Structure 1
Amino acid sequence: MRKYCFVLLFLSLISANRLMGQVVFWMRWESADQEIRQEWKPFASQAEIDKTLDSVLTDFYQRGYLSAFREKEKEANDSLSYLIHVGQKFELAEIRKGNISPDLLNNLPPPDQGFLEWNQWISNSLEYFENRGFPFAQIKLDSIDRDSDRILGAIHVEEGPYITWDSLKVGGNTKTQARYVQNLTRIQPGTAFSQKEFLKASETLNRSPYFELSQSPELNFRIKSASPTFYLRDRNVNVIDGIIGLLPNENEPGKILITGQLDLELFHLGGKGRDVAVHWQRMNKETQSLDINAKESFLFGSPLSIGLGFHLLKQDSSFLNRHFSLDFGYDFSKNSSIRFFTKRQASDLISTFAYKEAVELPEIADYRWNLYGLGLKVNRLDSPFFPRRGFLFQSEFAAGNKKILQNTGIPESVYQGLDLNTPQITGSIQVEQHVFMSQIWGMWFRGSGGFIRNENLLLNDLYRIGGLKSIRGFNENFFFAKNFGYFNMEQRLFFGGNSYLMVFSDFGVLNNPFDEREKDYPISFGAGINLETGNGVFRFIYGLGKSNLQPLSFSYSRIHFGYLARF
């Protein structure tokens, strides 16, 4: 018992020494009104004490105690006691318009009587001026008269010089061009200076996936102009991501099929927000896909971005799909963007041998589809790469005319009486939420859904889902779906900055009109690790899935591992 008491006493002494090492003074203050006082409180320096007392006096001034002052009452080696003399309380009984302009009165109604109302009005008015080119504006009471404890005065405004934005500058270890930062922050030379724009620009730049602020920005005022300088540090955003999948070979039982995925993404080329991405996948022995995308930001100096895309999918020996897309995007806020797109989709049969004696339109056919659509994105994640908190919403809707082409390898009678030109619509939505419970525990949730409609719907029209980026525990693009919805859930145990162990479960509902059982309810679960290593991330995920087409069995388990390198 004595041993434990000695340990507690020793720890208490250490804590006390540390506290005394941090606290230089104890300070309190009181006024004539015993309800308005502050009891003893520790401060690290005399400067902190002076700052606190100045704040107290300012508060009294704003309440009408214009003659308030402080007096040192007692002083010891480690303590100070002050008395605040509040003096007589005055009333601001009348505020005349003075030289205030009609423009200001139209935007800010004249203040009510009272010092608190007057000070709030000054704050709002100065904010109004500093966001419209007058950062040096001053407002005060003029022609002051006193009638006992009543104060009467007139508003006097000095706008100061009109300030416009000058050329923007970029410093720091970055390849980013000043023109790109100017377009991104929307600080245009020649326009009125705005303090709000300047503060908002810092927030916008820190949210960029390409770079971050390396130090506080600077603002230099010259004759009637202001020049901002932003110091940036480029992020490691370029990606090389390779994944190898080990799957059971369904064509050769007892053997393993090696699949693969390669992602190459190059961002912010030339410091202009120009992106290029190439994605390749091999889902099984005869099925492969290729995606190539390019984006150019601020087209011809406008707020629009333009994107071009190409997608190719070879589905074993059944069909070949190609998509060509053109996108125009616009960021209408720091978190939200809208896009308008058009797409040309083409699909062709690879082999027609199975359909040479068909009596009705096969489930797979040749077609061309021109569609036009609208997309919306709201991104409130706290990090562009490894978010722990925040919300992401994405949706798109598209419609167009689909034309079924007659294939000479299929009997002509199949197409008789069939409307070969029909409208087709499609839509999708995705919602993602990150929850950070503590330093070591986080959760991730995602819900996705989509639909496609056409009176002559084909198998090679349908959505392709399944695999690492949708419903895990299945091959990539394992499912065909006319309608789909799925929910992903992860529990993450962090043991480093972006390193964590995780367990997951996925639930889905799918509709495929070409399956014997149209409705399918796939489920999956598993575990994995995300390990940050310098400029890269190693991932290993093991999953089991069950659906109409796959039993729940370890022989159908999926293992994905790979290394994502950022440079």
Structure 2
Amino acid sequence: MAANVRNVPYFTWAGWRCRRFFNTQGVSTEMFLHLTIYLLFGVFLGVVSAEDRQLVHSVEVVGSSGMMASRARSLLVTRPGMSIDSLMIKQDMKRLLKGYQEIGYWQASVQFPEVHHHTGRVVFRVDSGEVTRIGRVVLEGNPHVSKDSLMSVITAGLGAPLVSARLENDLMEMLALYSNAGYPYCAIDPSVNLLPGQDSVTVKYAFTEGPFVRIDAIRFEGNRVTRKDILLREMRVKEGEPYIQSRIDRGMKHLRKLSFLMEVDDPVLEEEKDGSTTLVVTLREAPSGRLEGGIGYAPDTGEAGLTGLFALEFDNFQGSARSGKVLWGRQGRSTSHLGLSYLEPWVLGSPVSAGIILAMQQRPSYNEHRIDAFAELSLAPGTGLRMGGYYEEVRPDSTGERVVFGSRVRGLEGQVEYDGRDEPFNPRHGVRTSARVSWGHVSSDRTRRDRTEVQGHLDTFLPMGRRWVSALSLHAAAVSQSDDVPLEARLRLGGTKTIRGQREEAFLGTEAVWGNLEWRYILGRRSRVFLFLDAGVVNDPVESGKSRWLTPLGFGGGIRAISGLGTLGLDYGLGKGEGPGQGKIHVRMVNEF
């Protein structure tokens, strides 16, 4: 009777595991030893064959007259240092041939390469032949779109190389031409008469135009608050007009730029039972109201301390696209502001919006009141122009009569902006930029003078991986006056909106350049963590004709996360030369409803 496997000694953990397994299967010692010998013999053969396998030392492509040798070699998988593999070499021959066809050499041939086993040299020989060119283009079945119109968008025309990528691009251009003529169901069947030995071919496009489509109705799905007439107005496509793809695409861009729409799907054409055509647009609305509260803290050294913010905003009041905002903030012990704004869209049925802003500032030594009235014109999706006027009045209090002089400013201002971000809250790519110019006439009991202010802003977003995004913002501003710029008109830097890690409005000047760099990790649609570095240069006039340049710097990190109460924001920043105990903390909560 054969001895049980457990009686055979094994000195390794792996052997003990194998012995336990075979024991449970009822395998005898003799059978186990045979299996072990076969396994060791197989491993030995694998090692010997690996040692005898020849490695590739060099790869050459000879005769690649139509393509640079380096480009031809880049198409190959066989590389120096790899084992010589006949199957892989055959696949490389197909890759070379396809590479030549992609640039117009359809008569090219690739010979089986020379493999020098002793030297490890692999040589591919290519006969590229002549470039295959298009000798004739035939269009059939296109009665509703002229031949001249179609030929105007064809890049692979007479005499052009036969390149498949260019043919595919021409197909897309011709389909777009039909879609913009009211034929979205058009189909094109291309064919190429390619014969061996011929360097000239005929390309034939057979059109099936399909029916002419008119948009009889537009149906929005998912708009629980926003009225249909508001969406039609913003989309700028009317029911009953012909289907024109470019207008539909532009309308989708307009809708996707609306702040009160979170998502807008691509439109779908549906044919009704009565034969009419309906354009269906599915969307998801964003909450139309936002309540924001924030509090900040900086170690108290004089003017600093607690800061606060409260804002109530409506983006889509009662589904009418009207918006308004109430804002109150406290920047320090003696500084606070209150703001009211309202925007009426599409005044008199035109793409012009009218707005008004009321602002009141309380600062050490004076109070400031300002009213802005403006009109906004939407030039294109994401692009707008604003023109308006303002009135501003500065009144010193009893402590500032010798520091700040009362004044009144009447002025005009203009602004142009462009928003090309893929989405507003957590953009992964795109650019947003704006430029503003204002001119005002300053009058007081003492003098009358002119004041000019210019500002420019640029935000760029660049994806650095699946979840990493680099966000860079650059800003520049300057204010000038016929005499010295007074304290109340100077630029103010420092705090959460300009240079984080510094105290709110800690730096005053007449010229400033600053930048904000963030390294973001996207956690979700509305969540992220980030590190930031903010820096700037400020020209601070100390007296007439003299100035000093200040270089504020701040760095830190923060998080934006969705919680049960809303979107939570937490920032922690340090200024240049400060320790952890001197950091500024800002907490913000945004609740949408």
Structures share fold, TM-score greater than 0.5: yes
* 1:545 and 2:545 matched: no
Q: Gaps (5+ residues) in structure 2? A: 1-11, 19-90, 96-101, 107-131, 191-197
Q: Aligned match of 1:130 in 179, 201, 209? A: 179
* 1:343 and 2:390 matched: yes
Return closer, same or farther for 1:393/1:101 CA change in 2, 3 Å cut-off: same
Is contact 1:459-1:514 (8 Å) kept?
no
Is contact 1:390-1:433 (8 Å) kept?
yes
Return closer, same or farther for 1:140/1:514 CA change in 2, 3 Å cut-off: same
Q: Aligned match of 1:428 in 433, 451, 455? A: 455
Is contact 2:139-2:206 (8 Å) kept?
no
* 1:466 and 2:506 matched: no
The superposition leaves residues 369-390 of structure 1 with CA deviations (integer Å, 9 ceiling, x where unpaired) of: 2222221222122221122333
Is contact 1:161-1:224 (8 Å) kept?
no
Q: Aligned match of 2:472 in 429, 437, 445? A: 445
Q: Aligned match of 2:566 in 508, 531, 536? A: 536
2-side partners of 1:285 and 1:517: how far apart?
28
Q: Aligned match of 2:337 in 289, 310, 335? A: 289
Per mean C-alpha deviation after superposition, the further-off stretch among 439-448 and 197-206 is 197-206
**In structure 2, the residue corresponding to 1:365 is in which secondary structure?**
coil
Q: Aligned match of 1:333 in 366, 380, 399? A: 380
Letter in 2 for 1:220: E
Per mean C-alpha deviation after superposition, the further-off stretch among 215-224 and 295-304 is 215-224
**In structure 1, the residue corresponding to 2:242 is in which secondary structure?**
coil
* 1:273 and 2:301 matched: no
* 1:562 and 2:562 matched: no
Letter in 2 for 1:488: N
Q: Aligned match of 1:304 in 341, 352, 357? A: 352
2-side partners of 1:122 and 1:497: how far apart?
36
Deviation at 1:562, TM superposition (A): 2.6
2-side partners of 1:125 and 1:250: how far apart?
69
1:167-182 mapped onto 2 (5 Å cutoff): 167-182=217-232
1:42-81 mapped onto 2 (5 Å cutoff): none
Is contact 2:140-2:207 (8 Å) kept?
no
Q: Larger radius of gyration, structure 1 or 2? A: 2
Is contact 1:112-1:118 (8 Å) kept?
no
2-side partners of 1:118 and 1:495: how far apart?
41
The superposition leaves residues 166-185 of structure 1 with CA deviations (integer Å, 9 ceiling, x where unpaired) of: 34221225312222222222
Letter in 2 for 1:196: S
Return closer, same or farther for 1:229/1:558 CA change in 2, 3 Å cut-off: same
1-side partners of 2:532 and 2:490: how far apart?
27
Return closer, same or farther for 1:197/1:553 CA change in 2, 3 Å cut-off: same
Return closer, same or farther for 1:514/1:166 CA change in 2, 3 Å cut-off: farther
- Which TM-score applies when normalising by structure 1? 0.69
1-side partners of 2:187 and 2:525: how far apart?
48
Q: Aligned match of 2:442 in 403, 406, 415? A: 403
The superposition leaves residues 383-403 of structure 1 with CA deviations (integer Å, 9 ceiling, x where unpaired) of: 211223332212111223x23
Letter in 2 for 1:510: V
Return closer, same or farther for 1:266/1:103 CA change in 2, 3 Å cut-off: same
2-side partners of 1:137 and 1:292: how far apart?
53
Is contact 2:570-2:587 (8 Å) kept?
yes
- Which TM-score applies when normalising by structure 2? 0.66
The superposition leaves residues 46-79 of structure 1 with CA deviations (integer Å, 9 ceiling, x where unpaired) of: xxxxxxxxxxxxx9xxx9xxxxxxxxxxxxxxxx
Return closer, same or farther for 1:134/1:529 CA change in 2, 3 Å cut-off: closer
**In structure 2, the residue corresponding to 1:196 is in which secondary structure?**
helix
2-side partners of 1:510 and 1:122: how far apart?
55
2:78 maps to what in 1? none
1:392 maps to what in 2? 432
Letter in 1 for 2:590: L
RMSD of aligned residue pairs (Cα, Å) = 4.3
Return closer, same or farther for 1:539/1:100 CA change in 2, 3 Å cut-off: closer
1-side partners of 2:532 and 2:186: how far apart?
58
2:117 maps to what in 1? none
1-side partners of 2:498 and 2:204: how far apart?
67
Matched pairs, number:
461
Q: Aligned match of 1:165 in 215, 218, 233? A: 215
1-side partners of 2:501 and 2:479: how far apart?
25
Return closer, same or farther for 1:465/1:512 CA change in 2, 3 Å cut-off: same
1-side partners of 2:141 and 2:428: how far apart?
54
Deviation at 1:494, TM superposition (A): 4.8
Is contact 1:211-1:234 (8 Å) kept?
yes
2-side partners of 1:152 and 1:558: how far apart?
72
Is contact 2:145-2:178 (8 Å) kept?
no
**In structure 2, the residue corresponding to 1:262 is in which secondary structure?**
strand
**In structure 2, the residue corresponding to 1:561 is in which secondary structure?**
strand
Letter in 1 for 2:404: I
**In structure 1, the residue corresponding to 2:348 is in which secondary structure?**
helix
Is contact 1:452-1:483 (8 Å) kept?
yes
2:71 maps to what in 1? none
1:315 maps to what in 2? 363
Return closer, same or farther for 1:102/1:469 CA change in 2, 3 Å cut-off: closer
1-side partners of 2:175 and 2:522: how far apart?
46
Deviation at 1:224, TM superposition (A): 9.1
Q: Aligned match of 2:287 in 225, 228, 236? A: 236
1-side partners of 2:140 and 2:527: how far apart?
62
Letter in 2 for 1:508: G
The superposition leaves residues 496-543 of structure 1 with CA deviations (integer Å, 9 ceiling, x where unpaired) of: 554444332221111222478632111122333333214622222222
**In structure 1, the residue corresponding to 2:231 is in which secondary structure?**
helix
Seq. identity, %: 21
